[in-house]
Structure 1
Amino acid sequence: MKKIILTSWVALITTFTFAQKNTVVGTVNDKQGKPIPFAFIKDAQRSYATFTDLNGAFNLKVDSVDRLIVSAQNFKKTVIKIGDPNNVNVVLTGDDAAGAKLTKSTGDFKEKLSTEGMTKDVSSGYIVHENTIHGSRYLFENWVHGYALTTEDSVKQNDNYLFNYEKMAGNLIFTDDGKTMTGINRHSIKMFTLVDDQGQTYVFENRPEIDPLHFVQVISTGSKYKIYKQLGTKYLPNNYVSNGMTSSGNNYDEFKDESVYYVVKLPGGQPQKVLLKKKSIKTVFAADADKANKFLSDNDRDIDDDYLKSLGDYMNQ
């Protein structure tokens, strides 16, 4: 059975809100001066948040802020008053040795789900042996760090929880022991951010006009445009057939991803489907045709997620 390894990662997670004007820069260390990776940094009054990277450094974009709440597993939560926003040095106290270690544990997504607070049961579905399946119903092979923003604009994060996203049913799931998982009620969540073991950040929004049953991934965002990725994952069972002479089909089960992309012109525009083709890109960015054409001319390479992110970042300048 495919195992999900519980670990900590080197990453800097971006905030949920993308239109902030100011930046708070700093570090989080233990009392011996050692950096604390994956310390959680939150604006004490608003819903802006981020995590530290492996070196304990953070960069938080905000409208304005005077206090930060800082926490990490095995350390005491601390409230910090901001002096110089370009040099915020936080020292956490507690079990320093345990807190600085990378947490490792084994677990999988097979166990029954519990329900607590704003959670609901979700089906574990197609649990199969690793050697009989291609692809995965889960976004990540490992449990990953993350946090969510509720429909009431409240940040939900716990230093003892790790997350994953179940693509077929559209469930955000979390674990506190690597053995059992709980699904979060999708209708209570506005957005969430997850980060993989390579430091790649994944931001998802609840956009029912694009997909009423699943969250959609934010590929790029800014003041003018947003680009979304609608994840579509299908379960295809083994369909191998042979008569001894000829054969057809696959001799394995497969989770196959089929994604659709959308562009939204801000503010208030409706989602427009965009194909991974230059002609389609020109159509959805017709309001800024000259700028779009320049990017397409200067970037003659395969159009994929990275390409669309670069395109979105360029169009938002």
Structure 2
Amino acid sequence: MRIICIVIGLLACFTVLHAQYTELDNIGSNPNHHLGILPIFFAKDSAKGSPYLALGWLRGMLELTNHKRLPEQGHGLFFNYDKMNERLFATDGVSKTWFYPHDSISSFYLVDSNTIYCFERVPLISQAHFLLSLVKSEKGYSLYKRLITKFIVADYRDEGYLGTGRRFDRYTDSYEYYIIYPGDSTFKKLNLTVRAIKKALPSESSRLNKFFSQKSGRVDEHTFVLLLQNINDQNGF
């Protein structure tokens, strides 16, 4: 009798398992079920970086293409720059916030602590983008850079036993540099490397060779700005 009970129990268990596997097979053959798409749950950390130039409103000055300058005397305005969409936002500091159309702006500068950001539209280089002015000379070399901000989505994956990727979204900044030659009729895009700088300034080779005699690889922005200003001074620009 005991053996019969065990056999009956095994048969019942087999029947249940067979029914479950049959149900799974039916689900797998159903085109409305996507077996490869399973939810992945994780809590995002705070985003790194920002789509804006600063975390708060800044003082500054704006010049429109009709040569009108803002803020007007007696009127307070505060600004911030949307780096991703290249939009200048403004507020009256009370309740109103707006942004200026890109093609209505000639230039603007913003002050953040001890840093002054000077943005311009430079038609010779680009009609579509604002550029930061680093060195400006009427007769000598001028240097501009374009600020490019990209949004990168968190890519964290929890595999159950192992987590990979980042838990946070991030905003990353990169830069393009442009040098305008004396006469303001030609320009060149360049990287801040010794080789690229020498190639971009062949007429200044003797000065550059002397300056870079003990240096190779990349050049930081501050160093190149000082170098270009020094070349302008030595050339009497």
TM-score (ref. length: structure 2): 0.70
Quote the residue 2:193 is aligned against: 277
Q: What RMSD over aligned residues (CA atoms) do the two structures have, in Å?
A: 2.4
Cα deviation for residue 262 of structure 1 reads 1.0
TM-score (ref. length: structure 1): 0.54
Cα deviation for residue 290 of structure 1 reads 1.9
Cα deviation for residue 299 of structure 1 reads 7.1
CA contact (8 A) 1:292 1:315 kept: no
Report the Cα distance in structure 1 between the residues aligned to 2:202 and 2:210, rounded to whole angstroms. 13
Quote the residue 1:288 is aligned against: 204
Amino acid at match of 1:203: C
Aligned residue runs from structure 1 range 120-199, under 5 A: 132-158=46-72, 159-177=75-93, 180-197=96-113, 199=114
Amino acid at match of 1:213: A
For the structure 1 residues 183 and 150, does the alpha-carbon distance in structure 2 shift closer, same or farther, using more than 3 Å as the test? same
1:313 aligns with 2:229: yes
Q: Deviations over 1:46-102 (max 9, x none)?
A: xxxxxxxxxxxxxxxxxxxxxxxxxxxxxxxxxxxxxxxxxxxxxxxxxxxxxxxxx
**Residue number among 173, 188, 209 corresponding to 1:257 in the alignment:** 173
SS in 2 for 1:259: strand
Cα deviation for residue 151 of structure 1 reads 2.4
For the structure 1 residues 273 and 178, does the alpha-carbon distance in structure 2 shift closer, same or farther, using more than 3 Å as the test? farther
Amino acid at match of 2:122: R
| Deviating more after overlay: 149-158 vs 271-280 | 149-158
For the structure 1 residues 189 and 266, does the alpha-carbon distance in structure 2 shift closer, same or farther, using more than 3 Å as the test? farther
Report the Cα distance in structure 1 between the residues aligned to 2:107 and 2:61, rounded to whole angstroms. 9
CA contact (8 A) 1:220 1:226 kept: yes
CA contact (8 A) 2:158 2:164 kept: yes
Residue segments in structure 1 that go unaligned for 5+ positions in a row: 1-129
CA contact (8 A) 2:194 2:218 kept: no
For the structure 1 residues 219 and 131, does the alpha-carbon distance in structure 2 shift closer, same or farther, using more than 3 Å as the test? farther
Identity of aligned residues (%): 28
Cα deviation for residue 211 of structure 1 reads 4.0
Residue segments in structure 2 that go unaligned for 5+ positions in a row: 1-43
* More strand by percentage: 1
Q: How many residues align?
A: 187
Report the Cα distance in structure 1 between the residues aligned to 2:61 and 2:171, rounded to whole angstroms. 26
Q: Deviations over 1:2-48 (max 9, x none)?
A: xxxxxxxxxxxxxxxxxxxxxxxxxxxxxxxxxxxxxxxxxxxxxxx
